[in-house]
Chain A
Amino acid sequence: MSAPVLLLSGVTREHRQGSTVVHALRGVDLAVHPGELVAVMGPSGSGKSTLLHVAGGLDTPTSGQVLVEGTDLASLSATASATIRRRSVGYVFQDLNLLPSLSALENVSLPRELDGIRGRQARGEALEALAEVGVADLADRFPDEMSGGQQQRVAIARALVGPRRLLLADEPTGALDSTTGEEVLRVLRSRCEAGAAGVLVTHEARHAAWADRVVFLRDGVLVDQSGPVAGAESLLSAGGAA
C-alpha cells in the first residue's frame, strides 16, 4: 500500500472566544492515499473548513500531527512550511480562484514559476495540466472570458500542476449550476484516479457521492464514514421488484 499523501493523527483545534474555548476539531484521524478522493460532510459549524485549513497548513492544530507527503508541517519553520504548502498542496475554492489579470495558461504556470521552474518549461507543464482537465483550447483566455465551470477546471489544473498531489477543495461547485457542477466533480474524480489525493468539503450529498469515501463530522469529531457498497446489483435489487 502506498504511503498516504495526507495523514492527520489526533488532530485537535481549539479557538478561544473570550473566556470560552471552542473545540473546532477533536481528535481527528484521517489518511488520504494517492488515487483517493475523500469527501467531508457535516452541518455548518461541524469543523469541515477547519479540517481543510489544518490539512493544507493554512491553520495549525492545537495538538496532533498533520503530515503532508510524510512531512510534519509543525516541525518546519514558517518559511519551510510555506514552501511545502506551495509545492505539495493545491486548493480549489468556491470562487475567486484565478487571478483576473492573467490568462488561463499564466494562472496555471504561475505556481511552477514560483517553484523556480523556467518560464518555458512552466508553460509546457501548465499546458499539459490544462489538457488533462479538457480546457487546453482556453489557454489564452482570461478568467472573465470563461464560464464558471471552465474557470473551476482551470483552478483544478493549477492546483495539480507539476508534482502536486494533494488537492483540497472547499465547496468547489458552490456557485455552479448542477450540470456544470457535475462536470467539475468528474474532472476532480478523474484527476484523483490519475494518482492525486483529494479532499472535498461539501454539504451536498450528491457531490460527496463522487468520492471513494465519505467521512461525517459532527461537532469536530469524525463520527462515521461510508465507502461504496459491495455490489451494484444488490443495491438495485434493494429497490424491490415492483
Chain B
Amino acid sequence: MSIRHGLLALLERGPSHGYQLRAEFDAATGATWPLNVGQVYTTLDRLARDGLVAQDGEPDSDGRIAYQITDEGRREVTSWFASPVTRQGAPRDELAIKLALAVTTPGVDVVSVVQTQRSATMASLQELTRLKTGADDDLAWSLVLDHLLFRAEAEIRWLDHCETRVARAAARRGETPVSPAPTPVAAQTTPAGKRGRR
C-alpha cells in the first residue's frame, strides 16, 4: 500500500501540503496506521518525480510546499479504486507459524498456547467493541474498526477450529490431549467500577 495511493486520493480533493495530508489521512483511519511527516514528504517527492503530483505555487511563509494532483495522478487514483487489492502470497504470520511449530514440537502444551492467544485476542475484541461504540458518527473510522474487529473475530474462530482439530487428532492417536485437565483459575472478583468508556 500504499501511502502513495492514499495521498493521491486525498490530493484529488484539492491541493494540500504534507502536514495537512497527514492529518487528513489519520482522521480518516482513526490514526490506526499513523504516518510520520517524513514518510509523507518522501512519498510526495516520489509522486512528483513520477509526474503524478506537482508543486502548487511557491512555499508559504512557513516554507511549506503545497502539492496538486496531475491528470496522470487522477488516472492513477481512478485505477486504484477500480482494481482489487492483491495480497501476494501469504504474508508471514507469527501466530500460524507458532501453532504449526507447537503441534510438531514434543512437550508443547498446544491447548494452552491456543487459550493464551484466544484470551488476548478476546481482550482486543472487547477493546475494539468499546472504541466502536464511540465511533458511531465517524463512518470512515468505524469501518476501519470493523475491519480490525472482524479480523480479531476470525482469529478466534480459527483458534477454536485449531483446538477441535488438535483434540480430534489426539483422539485418533488414542491419546488424551496434551493438557487433559485444565487448571482452574481463581475467580477474579473485579470491582464493578465504571471503566473508561468512550
The residues of A with any CB-CB pair to B shorter than 8 Å are 1-2, 4, 8-9, 26-31, 33-36, 41, 43, 186, 193, 197, 205-206, 208-214, 216, 218-219, 221-229, 232, 235-242
Contact = CB atoms under 8 A, between A and B. Distances in A.
B125 A206 contact: yes
A236 B123 contact: no
Given A205-B125, A205-B157, A241-B35, A228 B115 contact: no
Interface stretch (B16-24, B49-57, B190-198): B190-198
Contacts of B88: none
Interface stretch (B7-15, B69-77, B102-110, B178-186): B178-186
Contact of B182 (A197, A221, A227): A221
B124 A229 contact: yes
B123 A218 contact: no
Given A35-B194, A216-B119, A223-B115, A209 B189 contact: no
Contact of B130 (A28, A224, A228): A228
Contacts of B120: 226
Nearest to B148: A239
A34 B35 CA distance: 42
B127 A235 contact: yes
Q: Size class of B's contact patch?
A: 35 or more
7 contacts: A29-B186, A35-B194, A209-B128, A221-B182, A224-B119, A225-B188, A227-B123
Contact of B123 (A36, A197, A229): A229
A242 B33 contact: yes
A208 B119 CA distance: 12
A35 B157 contact: no
A241 B130 CA distance: 22
A79 to B, nearest CB: 30
Given A1-B192, A205-B125, A226-B126, 19 more contacts: A8-B187, A26-B184, A36-B190, A36-B192, A206-B149, A209-B125, A209-B128, A209-B129, A214-B122, A214-B126, A221-B181, A221-B184, A222-B187, A224-B115, A225-B185, A228-B123, A232-B127, A236-B30, A236-B32
A214 to B, nearest CB: 5
Pick from A1, A28, A236 the residue with the most CB of B within 10 Å: A236
Given A214-B122, A235-B127, A240 B33 contact: yes
B126 A227 contact: yes
Interface of B: 1, 30-35, 115-116, 118-120, 122-131, 133, 148-149, 152-153, 156-157, 160, 163-164, 181-195, 197
Contacts of B156: 205
B34 A33 contact: no
B129 A235 contact: no
B187 A242 contact: no
A237 B184 CA distance: 32
A209 B33 contact: no
A28 B184 CA distance: 8
Contacts of A218: 115, 182
A33 B126 contact: no
Given A219-B182, A241-B33, A232 B187 contact: no
Nearest to B31: A236
Contact of A223 (B32, B126, B185): B185
Contacts of B181: 221
Contact of B32 (A212, A219, A239): A239
Contacts of A227: 123, 126, 188, 190
Given A209-B122, A229-B124, A31 B187 contact: yes
Nearest to B134: A232
B160 A43 contact: yes
B87 to A, nearest CB: 12
A218 B160 CA distance: 12
Contacts of B195: 212, 228
B143 to A, nearest CB: 14
Nearest to B152: A205
A224 B185 contact: yes
Contacts of B30: 236
